[in-house]
Amino acid sequence: MGGDIPENVKGVVEIDSWLTPFADVLSERRYLADEWKYNIEHTAGPQGKGTTLSQFARDAYKSFGLHADASTLEIRYKEWAPNAVAAFLIGEFNGWDENANEMQRDEYGVFNVVVPPTAGGEFGIPHDSKIKVCFELADGSRIYRLPAWITRATQPDKETAKQWGPSYEARFWNPSTHYSFKNKRPSFVRDTDSLRIYEAHVGISSSEPKVASYKEFTENVLPRIKYLGYDAIQLMAIMEHAYYASFGYQVTNFFAASSRFGTPEELKELIDTAHGMGILVLLDVVHSHASKNVTDGLNRFDGSDHQYFHSLTSARGEHPLWDSRLFNYGNFEVQRFLLANLAFYIDVYQFDGFRFDGVTSMLYLHHGIGEGGAFSGNYNEYLSKERSFVDHEALAYLMLANDLVRELLPENGITIAEDVSGYPTLCMPRHLGGAGFDYRLAMALPDMWIKLLKDSKDEDWKMGDIVHTLVNRRHREKVVSYAESHDQALVGDKTLAFWLMDAAMYTDMSIIKETTPIVDRGIALHKLIRLITHSLGGEAYLNFEGNEFGHPEWLDFPNKNNGDSYHYARRQFNLVDDPLLRYQQLNEFDKAMQTCEKNYKWLNTPQAYVSLKHEVDKVIAFERNGLLFIFNFHPTESFTDYRIGVNEPGCYRIILNSDKHEYGGWDRIDESKSNYFTTDLRWNERNNFIQVYIPNRSALVLALDSRPKETH
């Protein structure tokens, strides 16, 4: 490779030689993160003696905010507000007296106060009582805020909202009994284990038009996820957000689990129960931006516009499309706050990792918007010193965040980046010179499927284009494939099932009546799209709740445009529970697909070898991890004795068949007579071939008869 490659990025350049001209740029970007980490580890500990990154993050969430000492019954409160000259802790406990509990300020603008126990030997602040912090500014004025590190914030009741407005209220959460975790985290070997993710939003997880609770999710939805065979859940909208319709992406209180779904203890129970089922739980973490709310958020927390964020006098101060504030990742206290936030959710709630929202927006000064966001894959768009718009500080923060997760959860911590740009080395290990993510979301895949369904007839689908999009990912950088996520479910768009069947989903899904051509096509393609995405599109797989059974409607949270209705802010599980509806057939196929992957494994294995992309026959065939996948997308043509190349000789049997009646198919294949013996003749660049019957709009997965299931 030569001596010119900086040592700290030599690993990634050896993997991808095209990075060679940009090695110095990559080295500089890694150096910034390493420098920050070095400073933390050598100067940030007690008396400047240094600490570990994980201890740094843990010390922060254990010291900042409110903390009750069970032995002394004292309550300590610590807050950073450098623009304030004085601060007071006020609340129901002191009759909202603005001068009763004055805080002490140090030279860095960090305020402290100790609330002693009552004369009766009780905590000085009652559990779940309302509190605020009052700051006095240099001009003598006073402002009132929710503590930045508050762990519980609730909606005001109607009378309070009428008098004081709809702002959330901070509460001191200190129950007499905290939830005690009973189950260990499920194991996860990041180099080999599969990851089948069920993306879910607690509030919409009910058939009723209401906000569902943590308890309801635990009792009603977790068993469904377990039944289907998913081994991870990605929970959305957990971090407190005052505006429900923001889908959880306008965070106001970063350390508070959303109170509209229940209590912190109930969320812990949910996660613990999932762990007992062998299911990992990931948090959809929002560190890409923050709500503009002032009275119940971080915006202008200490009266300035630049405490946690870039100043509004700079173009970096707010997101031009999201109407939100953007963090100043180069600020030491911001790093402390955000890293502590990750450690808090891992330690206190036992989350097993994170899906980082808005990584593309974080990575680039243009946030992926406009001409700057038209990524072609040319390395100059990411790495050229002259043309790059990469936010080095945001990238360095993400590197530190990945380091932290590795320290806290060395065995099974998982990080996923929501990045559409394809930034090189984002999902390569830190020690090689990468940013350290385990996976990125394969965001081009759902766009491809929607575009095909919107713009093309089935007979015009290009098999080569479909395959190219599914396999087009960076070498040694893993992706989470998905056919559709929550983005495709939102109002203004349609789910795949809706694009395929539309109004027929309301009238023709009964198994009592004969199926229609629209429903027959819709169910068949729904299965094929999901299976080929699952098996060819990535190293992990994601499904948004309800889509596994073809949820018939979009998702729209209550807002002024729909009369604050919850009609579309729900998942209609009642449909899949009705044995007379075809939704159950799609649900059973999803279960079969997840179970087949669990038993025979293709995720997190080397990319498939695609041997056939026949544009006339509309047939795609490929091998992955010793399994043979055959897809016939043709609208009308079935093929008898169709020749398929395969490398390994032997007798193949069917392990998954989309045409089975229980999955909404036509049972056109007699599996009891379907043993496929190879012929020792090279075909489609493979050493052998088999001959199969492959009906139109169906898919088969085959395994060697001698191959056992995976043991678990």
Read off the amino acid at residue 693.
Answer: Y
> Which CA distances in Å does 72 have to 69, 92, 118, 178, 448?
6, 21, 11, 18, 61
Tokens of 559: 């807002």
List beta partners, residue 701.
629, 656
Strand 280-285 versus strand 239-240 pairing type: unpaired
Round to whole Å and give the CA distance between 384 and 369. 19
Candidate list 231, 357, 508, 597, residue with the active-site label: 357
Candidate list 418, 545, 590, 597, residue with the active-site label: 418
What is the dihedral sign for C-alpha 322, 324, 326, 327? negative
How many CA atoms lie less than 13 Å away from 634 in the CB half-sphere?
Answer: 17
Residue 508 annotated among the catalytic residues of the structure? no
Tokens of 462: 């290009």
Residue 418 annotated among the catalytic residues of the structure? yes
Q: Which helix (H) or strand (E) holds 623?
A: strand 619-624
Residue 406's CB is within 10 A of a number of other CB atoms, namely: 20
Q: Where are the beta strands (DSSP E) in 84-188?
A: 86-91, 104-105, 110-115, 130-136, 142-145, 153-154, 169-171
Place of tokens 């190879």: 678
Residues 6+ apart with CB under 8 A from 142: 98, 134, 135, 136
Are 493 and 554 in contact by the 8 Å Cβ rule? The answer is yes
Round to whole Å and give the CA distance between 438 and 356. 11
Place of tokens 């559709």: 484
> Which CA distances in Å does 549 have to 70, 147, 283, 371, 499?
49, 42, 24, 38, 14
Are 536 and 485 in contact by the 8 Å Cβ rule? The answer is no
Give the single-character DSSP code of 266: H
List beta partners, residue 630.
621, 700
Tokens of 547: 């889509």
Helix, strand, coil abundance in the chain, percent, nearest 5: 35, 20, 45
Read off the amino acid at residue 692.
Answer: V
Residue of 328, 276, 292 lying closest to 307 (CA atoms): 328
Phi, psi of 591 (to 5 degrees): -60, -45
The residues assigned a catalytic role are 357, 418
